[in-house]
Amino acid sequence: EVGEFVTASGEVVRGEIPRFFAGDPNAGNLGGGFLFMLFGLPGAALAIWQSAKPENKARIGGIMVTAALTSFLTGITEPLEFAFLFVAPVLYFFHAVMAGAAMSLMYVLGAKLGLTFSFGFIDYVLLYPLNTKPWLVLLIGPFFFLLYYVVFRAGIKWFNLKTPGREDADTIDTGEAQAGTAHEFARQLVLAFGGRSNITNLDACITRLRIAVVDAGKINQDKLKAMGAAGVVMVGNGAQAIFGPRSENLKTEMEEYLSVAGDDAELSEADVPDVQYTSTETTAKLRDPEAADKAHNFIKGLGGSVNISKIEAAAETRLRVVVADQSVIDDAALTAAGVHGIMRLPNQVLHLLVGLNADQYAAEMKGQLATA
């Protein structure tokens, strides 16, 4: 909640984005994000695509074009950033420096741009009339496209980075999934996660498949990447495979396949030796001693138990809540209770950013709702 602004009616508004929409002429200093999400990261995607080995360019091109469009249209950068964050962290360092330069440049030039969700083209167009000097994005943006392209292309070449399509791994068998039916693709996904008996829970968010498993060592990360995942993040006994906007549909296809699958949904003895086993050791979390009080206040801020239809932890740091009526949500009360951010999604769904104890808060809230 950076800064504060007093409206004509005497209301005190805090936070960069709320102040912008309240009419504060000094707000809107995050406009540099449009430079690297609309232009910079798509330039990086092109560099990764062109740096791939010839035999992999078609596959990587499909992944990078999808990831670049996602960044450009919506400002969701996970599919693209996770493609190089873990395999080439030096590129992420360059990205951070250039993103910071973009933010500083737009601030110095006096541009004031707002956003509702992220720095995507949709927000840019919708809020264009409210912005100050929004044309600077179109003027400077192509330079950042070229800058990102040159830095990423040179970095990949000079450091011989194993970005997508440049891996030394052997060819991964995707089991004809690319050319098969939806069920065949879903079957190969199930096998990549260790087979039906290894999967304990299926979930998805906007850009990721989130699969909980019995043995994380049976997850075949190379196969998931060969099937189109921009990256795979191991989280405890599970994995988050970044398939971009397809993730929710893929989860549905896996659920439909598992409902009718037979023994073909299990790894064969021949498949098991090819799996790369990794350690499943996780770092213990510090529990929040005030979780019960926070859960009570979260419920109150959400409009009470009668307004909450469903609550669950999501993406390690969020509470995913389905409510009956979003209009009764008290944002100020939720913020005071410890919610760092609120995302309103379609179908009465909210994401509350609460930190690494999201699972603890979800359990507390479920317990309190059950006895309400």
Tokens of 310: 């469903």
Reduced 3-state DSSP string for 44-56: HHHHHHHHCCHHH
Is 205 a residue of the active site?
A: yes
Q: Which amino acid is at 84?
A: F
- Picking from 43, 45, 48, the residue whose alpha carbon sits closest to that of residue 164 is 48
Tokens of 117: 């969700």
**Full DSSP string of 176-209:** TTTTS-HHHHHHHHHHHTT-GGGEEEEEE-SSEE
Q: Which residue, chain included where needed, has tokens 């598992």? A: 258
Task: Let me know: does 256 contact 185? Beta carbons within 8 Å.
Answer: no
Collapse the DSSP code of 261 into the 3-class scheme (helix H, G, I; strand E, B; otherwise coil) and give the result: coil
With residue 126 as reference, give the H or E element that holds it: helix 121-126
Collapse the DSSP code of 275 into the 3-class scheme (helix H, G, I; strand E, B; otherwise coil) and give the result: coil
CA distance 216 to 234: 8
- What contacts 284, CB < 8 A, 6 or more positions away? none
CA distance 195 to 219: 9
Q: Which residue, chain included where needed, has tokens 């992999």? A: 56
Positive or negative torsion for Cα 196, 358, 368, 325: negative
Neighbours of 369 (CB within 10 A): 16
CA distance 2 to 59: 43
Task: Let me know: does 186 contact 256? Beta carbons within 8 Å.
Answer: yes
- Picking from 321, 338, 187, 179, the residue whose alpha carbon sits closest to that of residue 267 is 187
Q: Which of 35, 192, 205, 291 is catalytic?
A: 205
Reduced 3-state DSSP string for 200-227: EEEEECCCEEEEEECCHHHCCHHHHHHC
Active site residues: 205
